[in-house]
Structure 1
Amino acid sequence: MLKNLFILLISLFSHSAFAAEGGGLSSLGLIWALPFAGVLLSIAIFPLVAPHFWHQHFGKVAAAWAAAFLIPAAVQLGIGEVLHITAHAVLAEYIPFIALIASLYIISGGIYIKGNLHGSPKVNTAFLAIGAGLASLMGTTGAAMLLIRPLLRANDNRKHKIHVVVFFIFLVANIGGSLTPLGDPPLFLGFLKGVPFLWTLQNILPETLLSVALLLVVFYLIDLYYYHNREEDMPAIMDPTPDTRDIGFEGGLNFVWLLGAVLFVLLSGLWQSDVVFHVLGTPLPLPSLVRDVGLVLMAGLSWRFTAQDVRLLNHFNFEPVFEVAKLFIAIFLTIAPVIAMLQAGSQGPFASLVSAVHDANGVPIDGRYFWATGLLSGFLDNAPTYLVFFNLAGGDVAHLTTSYASTLAAISAGSVFMGALSYIGNAPNFMVKAIAEHSGLKMPSFFGYLAWSFGILIPLFLVLTVIFFRAG
């Protein structure tokens, strides 16, 4: 069945390819967004209706959707253009993305927090607050990978704990990383474009603090309800990891490698170099190459000098990274025509979106930028989505960080905050889900998670819009 569907897609796109006129990705019609939509729908539907098939073959499904774009694109645009698209997606986007994600995962996976706190509402709320604070300092991936296992361990004798992981994704894997370029990939891309390092801290601190505070209050009330009204009347579960107040760290040398990874990321934004290598038409600046090599080096040092017993205590394995790596290579490839069509602005298939975020005089409407950037970030990759709306608002850093600062704040907040709307909005979301499932917790399906995120986050974002962003 999957093979027949793939053949049908190739035939459909090939027919569209011969019918299309003009050159370049932006000249393609909306049908070329189908492979990207297929990847997203596969991630959403297969784990729900065919979990065993998905677990065994998700890499093949992702590869099939990538091929469903690349093969017809080769017919329409030529082999050379497809090689350029692939080289750009892999070398300029995918490898840096995976290098950062994997290095932070490996390094943080070598830090074991000894001892075990009792997963009470107060302790869980403190975990989330600390994680949200760390996310802007060590990245959402680093903070999430450091704290998710201790949080799961603290709650391993709780019967109702799905909400704990869901709010962890909201706060630690997303919203907490909104204050520095180290926190989340979209802000790092803005930093590389020239946005000052402390700009987001100075311009979206109130939005971040209010969001974190309100979510912590809501979480505490929900956790308190489950803890006292849904837990006490049920038979006690033996605690696999008895509580202790003897808290400490093993693998503490990894904090050195973590600092090194952060410095390499920071260096790539501060170091200006005229040395640029070109591979299949893709420019690779020397600072970016040094950053990626440095991240791999830090991960290698962590692996070499961390006792494997520490990783065993963390139940460390590479499955979450493999899952992200296989799915996101398809996402980065199939998103190319979607991004190109968005960048075509009023001349492209998404012209209605362009007009929707500006008033009649062409002035950006902050509230609409917040929602447009955010909703797309929740279901596309939030880093390229940030860039699209950054450029849609003019792309002039001097202008966007001064007279149009409120618009850039809306773009920044939307891309980071609403990355929490789905599992695919931000890479750490998927990794946290995978780790929780490997620990034995049955996480909500794609749509089940949407029920949580839309029910809790959409009202929050409406409050932010009323208080901070002009709705037009």
Structure 2
Amino acid sequence: MKMVRFAAITGLLAMLPAWAQAAELNGASLGVAWAIPFAGLLLSIALMPLLAPNFWHHHFGKVTAAWALAFLMPLVLFYGMGAAVANFVHALLAEYLPFVILLTALYVVAGGIYIRGSLTGTPLLNTAILAIGAVLASFMGTTGASMLLIRPLIRANAHRSKVVHIVVFFIFIVSNAGGSLTPLGDPPLFLGFLKGVDFSWTLLHIWPQALFLVGVLLAMFFVLDTWLCKNDSNQLPVAQSAQAREAMGFDGKLNFVWLAVVVGLVLLSGMWKSDVVFTMAGTEVGLPGVVRDVGLIAVAVLSLLLTPQSVHASNQFGWGPMQEVAKLFAGIFLTIIPVIAMLKAGVDGPFGAVVRAVTNPDGTPNVAMYFWATGALSSFLDNAPTYLVFFNTAGGDPVVLMTALAPTLVAISAGAVFMGANSYIGNAPNLMVKAIAEDRGVAMPSFFGYMLWSVGILVPLFVVMTFIWF
């Protein structure tokens, strides 16, 4: 409720005539010190759950707000209230609200579908669930697929003493790599779709890399899970009779309809062109985006009202994971503003070395560096704006990028989607899956503990992919 009031007050302030002009930050004139709040927030997310877990659990929202204020207050002092409000409103309306509304809709709809049945988490079943999730992720989004499958997967493996690897590989495959084939799969690809990249382009051009990465990860998981299962101190459940076993099925089937509506609304917003534009503090919001967001809110409300409470109870549905993601990403979307501005400044900005690194001496794109630069930044920045930065660095013309510079666009797309799995904050579903797993008693690794998994498993695969494709 506090967040709603805060957003409403901000909206009213943004309409004041004195603050009606947007003031985009000139990244070339910013010093690296402007990135301190963002770096501080990332370090807080990484270290405080490890060093002060009880404090972080109860006050992570306040810590996030403090870092956001550490950016906004100097912005007011150095650039004035108008610039601060304009940048705040732009982050709120153009980036954060569409992002969190879509995530909330997918979270609610997927949380209203209960997969029932007597599932026993054998290596073969676990691998099959991960493979199904990888396919679903490109058509219902990594968030939707993650929220649909993580609960039954954890439930199926409740008898096992070692399950952390299952959740980690789930994040690798379902929450990230699986969403690489269509614009519905992951926000960076959706932004590319909005910029003019054909809907089928990613499927036709990235499937070899996606098939390689997902296939190798599934094989690695099956071998690891088989070994850990054989050496697990806990015994498999005693086989049940056919009468005692619960048949497979779905409760809350109406939510499949709502899921189709979500997909339709997202597609509509990308394909529908309208001249109707609403301007607030310099931020333009098009009618298709408004219709999409209002429709998604309606879908979430209807899903909550019409889904039987027994389904939510079976799913142990709660708002904790969504609240954590919403609060943390509110801070990330604010404190990332100067970082993105400095990247957009190109060779003239503080991060000019990064931009120069993706260009060969003859002026042609360095495809391998595009893959790694996009991926490295997507591991810790939000992968959607990072995708846009390098999309524009490569020229920003979708027709050219889909044809003459197709290898460059493949590298940017693959780096943004695949390497979002490198850290918990690389992609929003990562944090949501982690929170749900912890709610169910899984002792998930810390921020750096998770990165030991990603660096040890994913990075070598990315090196191999570089030699093969980039």
The TM tier, using the shorter chain, reads over 0.9
Residue of structure 1 in register with 2:89 after alignment: 87
Aligned-partner Cα distance in 1 for 2:284–2:234? 61
Task: Tell me which residue corresponds to 2:14.
Answer: none
**Could you tell me which amino acid in structure 2 is paired with residue 189 of structure 1?**
L
SS in 1 for 2:336: helix
Q: Once the 2 structures are TM-superposed, how far is the Cα of residue 25 of structure 1 from its aligned partner?
A: 4.6
Q: What are the equivalent positions in structure 2 for 1:323-362 lying under 5 Å apart?
A: 323-362=324-363
Q: Partner residue of 1:7? A: none
SS at match of 1:277: strand
**Shift of residue 116, structure 1, vs aligned partner:** 2.7
Cα distance in 2, alignment partners of residues 142 and 31 from structure 1: 37
Task: Work out the CA distance in 1 between the residues paired with 2:118 and 2:390.
Answer: 44
Give 1:266-415 correspondences, 5 Å limit.
266-415=267-416
Cα distance in 2 for partners of 1:271, 1:460 equals 39
Deviation for aligned residue 1:236: 3.6
Give, as a single letter, the amino acid of the residue that structure 1 aligns with 2:448.
F
Q: Deviation at 1:238? A: 6.8
Name the structure 1 match of 2:253.
252
1:105-128 alpha-carbon deviations (Å, 9 max, x no partner) = 000000000113110100000000
Shift of 1:244: 3.5
Cα distance change on mapping 1:24 and 1:405 into 2, 3 Å = same
Query: Pairwise mapping of residues 31-430 of structure 1 onto structure 2 (< 5 A)?
Result: 31-228=33-230, 230-231=231-232, 234-236=233-235, 244=245, 246-430=247-431
Quote the offset at 1:301 in angstroms: 1.1
> Is the alpha carbon distance of 1:248 and 1:422 closer, same or farther for their aligned partners in structure 2, counting shifts above 3 Å?
same
Secondary structure in structure 2 of the residue aligned to 1:358: coil
Q: Which runs of 4+ in 1 moved over 6 A?
A: none
**Matches of 1:279 and 1:344, distance apart in 2:** 25
Between the aligned partners of 1:365 and 1:236, the Cα distance in structure 2 is 52
Match in the other structure for 1:8: none
Return closer, same or farther for 1:235/1:139 CA change in 2, 3 Å cut-off.
closer
Q: CA deviation at 1:186?
A: 0.3
What's the TM-score once normalised by structure 1's chain length? 0.92
Aligned CA RMSD, in angstroms, stands at: 1.5
Normalising by structure 2, what TM-score? 0.93
SS at match of 2:115: strand
Gaps of 5+ in 1: 1-21
Query: Following the alignment from structure 1 to structure 2, what is the Cα–Cα distance between the partners of residues 326 and 353?
Result: 29
Q: Distance in 2 between matches of 1:430 and 1:365?
A: 32
SS of 1:207's partner is: helix
The answer to whether the 8 Å contact 1:186/1:387 transfers is yes
Contact kept? 2:160, 2:234, Cα under 8 Å:
no
**How many pairs are equivalent?**
444
- Aligned partners of 2:27 and 2:349 also within 8 Å: no
Residue pair 1:116, 1:150 contacting (<8 A) in 2 also = no
- CA–CA distance in structure 1, aligned partners of residues 377 and 236 of structure 2: 42
C-alpha distance in 2 between matches for 1:82 and 1:196? 36
In the other structure, the counterpart of 1:17 is: none
Aligned-partner residue type, residue 110 of structure 1:
G
Q: CA deviation at 1:361?
A: 1.4
* Whole-angstrom distance in 2 between the partners of 1:403 and 1:77: 41
Structure 2 matches for 1:25-36, cutoff 5 A? 25-36=27-38
In structure 2, what is the Cα distance between the partners aligned to 1:180 and 1:79? 40
Please name the residue that 2:9 is paired with: none
Instruction: Give the direction of change, closer, same or farther, for the CA distance of 1:254–1:438 in structure 2 (3 Å limit).
Output: same
CA contact (8 A) 1:135 1:142 kept: yes
| Whole-angstrom distance in 1 between the partners of 2:160 and 2:87 | 48
What is the CA–CA distance in structure 2 between the aligned matches of 1:23 and 1:446, rounded to whole Å? 31
CA contact 1:370–1:411 (8 Å) conserved in 2: yes
User: Could you tell me how far 1:24 is from its partner in structure 2?
Assistant: 3.4
In 2, distance between residues paired with 1:45 and 1:444? Answer: 12
The alpha carbon displacement at 1:26 in A equals: 4.0
Unmatched segments (≥5 aa) in structure 2 = 1-23
Instruction: Note the alpha carbon deviations across 1:179-232, whole angstroms, 9 max, x for none.
Output: 00000000000000010000000110100001110000000010011011x21x
Secondary structure, counterpart of 1:379 in structure 2? coil
Supply the distance in 2 between the matched residues of 1:97 and 1:291 (Cα, whole angstroms). Answer: 12
Matched residue, 1:14? none
Q: Which amino acid aligns with 1:376?
A: L
SS of the aligned residue for 2:284 comes to strand
- Please tell me whether the aligned partners of residues 140 and 172 of structure 1 are also in contact (alpha carbons under 8 angstroms): yes
Return the alpha-carbon distance in structure 2 between the equivalents of residues 245 and 460 of structure 1.
39
Identity %: 60
